[in-house]
Structures are given as C-alpha cells and as structure tokens.
Amino acid sequence: MKPLNRAHTSHHFQLLAIAAPMILSNISVPLLGLVDTAVIGHLSDAYYLAGIALGSGSIALLFWLASFLRMSTTGEIAQAYGQQDSGRALQSLSASMSFALAFSLLLIVCTPWLLELIAVLSGATSQVLNQAEVYFSIRIYSAPAAMLNLVMLGFMLGMQYGRGPFYVVLFTNIVNIVLDVLFVVVLGFAVAGAAWASVIADYSALVLSCCLLRKVLNDAGWQWQIKVPHRQEVQRLLHLNRDIFIRSLMLQLCFSFMTFYGARLGEDILAANAVLLNFLMLVSFAMDGIAYAVEAKVGQAKGARDLSMLRRWVRISCLWASCFALLYTGMFALFGPYVIGLLTDIPAVIDTAQIYLPWLIVLPLIATSCFLFDGVFVGLTRAKEMRNSMLLSAVLGFFVPFWLVQHWGNHGLWFAMSCFMAVRGLTLILKYRLLSVRQQLLE
C-alpha cells in the first residue's frame, strides 16, 4: 500500500469539496431544534414543549430509519456516474423515488397505529399526548416530500455535487425557522403552527431539490426523463434497501437501549447520558461528512472499474477521518467539562456527566472506522456486509459485553457502546481487506 502522503493534493481537495458542505449542513440541523424549543418553550404551559418534543422525536426517528433511501441512491448513482451510464442512473433514480413514495404513504396510512404505539411506549400524560398527536398528525403529511428529498440528496451526492445537499438543508432550516416564528409567535398557532412550518419547509425544499437535480443532469449532459424501472433494477434496490434498513434498525435499537436502561439507573444518569450523547452528535458532524464523500468517490471508482483509485479514496478518507478523530479527542479532553456546562446547569447532572466523560474522550478514536467504512460499503453497494456487521456488532459487540459487565452500572453501558463501535469498525475493515485481497471490490 502506498504511503498516504503520496496521494495527489487535488484528490484531498476533491474529497473535502464534498465533505465540507455536508459538515456545514449537519451543523445547521441542531439550530432548527433550538428554535423549535425556543418558540414553543415560551408558551404558557410546559406540556406544549413536552408534546412537541415527543411528537417531533417520533417523526425524527421514522424519518431517520428512512435514511436507507439516501444511502442506496448515493451508491447506485455514484457507480452509474463512474460508468457515465445515464440510463442506469435514471433507472435507479426512478426506482428510488418509487420506494420513497411507497414508504411515505405507508407511514401516513399507519398513523393511527403509530400514535397508539407512541402513547404506550411514552406513558406521557394526556395533555402531553394530545399535543404530540396534534404535531404528529400534521407533520406526517410531509413524509412524501421528506422521503423524496432523501432520494434527491443521495442523487446529488452520487453525482459528486456536495454543495447541493448543503443548499437544500440550509434552505429547509431557514424556511422552517421563519415560519416557526410567524405561525407560533405572531399568529399563535402553538404546536400545530410548528408542525405546519416543518411541512411547508419540506415541500419547499422538494421544489429546490428538483431544480438542483435538473441542474446536475444538465451539467453532466444527461437528459432528464422519468423512466419505468426495470424489474431487475427494482429487485436490486429492494434487496439493497432491505439490508440497509435492517442495519439502521439495529443501530437504533442499541442507542434506544442506552436511553431506556439509563432511565432505570436514575434520573441523574438518564439526564447525564442525554448530555453525553450530544458529544457523539458532535462527532457525527464531521465523520458523516467524510463518510458521505467517500460514498460518492468509492462508488464512482467502482463504476469506472478503477481499483487503484478506489483504494486511493479509502486511504485519503482514512487520513482525514483520523485527523478529525484526534481533533475531537483533544477538544473533549480539554473542553469537555465546559461543554457539559453549556448543555446543562443542573449541578447533579454536571457532576454525573463528568464521571462518564472519559468514555466520550476515547470514543472518537474508537468510532472512526465504523463511520468511515459504512461510507465505503455504501459506495460499494454491499449492504449485505453492512447488515451482517451490524447484527454481529449488536449481539457480540453490545449486548454480550453489557451482560458481562452490567454490574458496572452506567460504566457498563458506555463500555458496551465502545465495544459496539469497535466491533462495527473491525468487522467492516476485515471484510474490506478480504474483498481487496480477493480482488472483489469491483464486483
């Protein structure tokens, strides 16, 4: 393997040209949550804020589980772009859009049952549940736009247009913030106003996404057409989306276990874990940006059947991911207590969070490979390996280690999370190395 420093400088800039806009768009997302909290938090009663937190959190979970639509689209389009095969790209786009509409309509039809499930799992008061139902029942109608936007974002990433997703996310958040203030503060629509603001923002973003998609196609010299997907294309995407969905579901299961088991350990630990999970969110800002970039570049190299270029992109992305991991570890070691103080002013929660802060200081180093190689395997469109890695990591990397050290209490939870991240990364690295040795990366 060639030393990292021999990679041409232009390749680093190409990778960062995709990663940097995605990092910026990731950073802009929490700002919307802060505005939602601010406008609703100034209403007369606390149950408004609790209701929107429950409703929006449930919607966010459902939409996050739909991230398989973006991942599969990015990998397929990147490979078509590498082949310069517009027919394959438009086939994949049409099939992905069909899946997005079907999934979103399924969510809308299942709304009554989803609301019952939220009520059972949350155990919230009737006032909180009423507000959550108001928010959820309105916001769910943004599902078609949100799902199609995921497909469009995946398409733009696959076409190496990293600025497009940044424009869309930034535009969505600006529209949402402006309408939040108008509907909630000025017009007094309360929780319903916040929900309608998000619905309008999602459909406005869809219009922008369609315009950007046309621009990308024109720049590539491809003619925009809606094609009826071939049966073979539909089956391939169905298998790809199924495996990525299972992978995402298992990932969410492990994080949900952290929350629910933490609740059994007491309010202070539950609150402290919620604060510390924000550190992982900070890590994901940069790591996801690098992962998105490597998805596009690895997919392009596979489509062009250029094995040496594929390996080069993996080496370059490893370098940048490692740099960000070291940066985060240093920042958390130096400024971790200060960050905790910014997130909460409750003395008991601050003291508890600082006890478990060392886990977060080392986690960026442990988690680097799983973030990065998720992106590599998305670009390779080898979702079966991602699924198997996640299943193995959830069972042997999370639940077994926790069962062995559960007497450690919350330290046991964070130990299990560290093992989970490590096993995910190691299994994907080993699979990548095996495919590389066998010359199967381009299959």
Give residue-wise pLDDT tens across range 316-331: 999 999 999 999 999 9
Is residue 183 included in any domain, yes or no?
A: yes
410 in the same domain as 303: yes
225 in the same domain as 166: yes
172 in the same domain as 285: no
272 in the same domain as 162: no
Is residue 2 included in any domain, yes or no?
A: no
25 in the same domain as 84: yes
* Structural contact between residues 156 and 217, judged by C-beta atoms closer than 8 angstroms: no
Residue ending a domain, among 208, 229, 250, is 229
202 in the same domain as 259: no
Residue ending a domain, among 211, 229, 247, is 229
pLDDT in tens, the chain (443 residues): 444 455 467 888 888 888 888 887 777 666 665 566 566 655 656 666 667 777 777 888 888 888 888 888 999 999 998 888 888 888 888 889 989 999 999 999 999 999 888 888 766 677 778 888 888 899 999 999 999 999 999 999 999 888 888 899 889 888 988 898 898 878 888 788 888 998 999 999 999 999 999 899 888 888 776 666 677 777 888 888 899 999 988 998 898 888 778 777 877 887 788 788 888 888 888 898 899 999 999 999 999 999 999 999 999 999 999 999 999 999 999 998 988 887 777 788 888 889 999 999 999 999 999 999 999 999 998 999 999 999 999 999 999 999 999 999 899 999 999 999 999 999 999 999 999 877 788 87
217 in the same domain as 249: no
Is residue 297 included in any domain, yes or no?
A: yes
Cα–Cα nearest to 273, from 379, 359, 205, 207? 359
Residue ending a domain, among 202, 229, 256, is 229
Domain that includes residue 332, residue range: 239-443
Q: So what's the pLDDT on residue 25?
A: 74
Q: pTM, whole model, 2 decimals?
A: 0.86
Q: So what's the pLDDT on residue 2?
A: 46
Residues recorded for the chain: 443
Q: So what's the pLDDT on residue 400?
A: 95
Q: What is the 3-state secondary structure (H, E, C) of 139-202?
A: HHHHHHHHHHHHHHHHHHHHCCCCHHHHHHHHHHHHHHHHHHHHHHHHCCCHHHHHHHHHHHHH
Is residue 181 included in any domain, yes or no?
A: yes
Is residue 248 included in any domain, yes or no?
A: yes
Is residue 234 included in any domain, yes or no?
A: no
Q: Would you give the end-to-end CA distance of the chain in angstroms?
A: 21
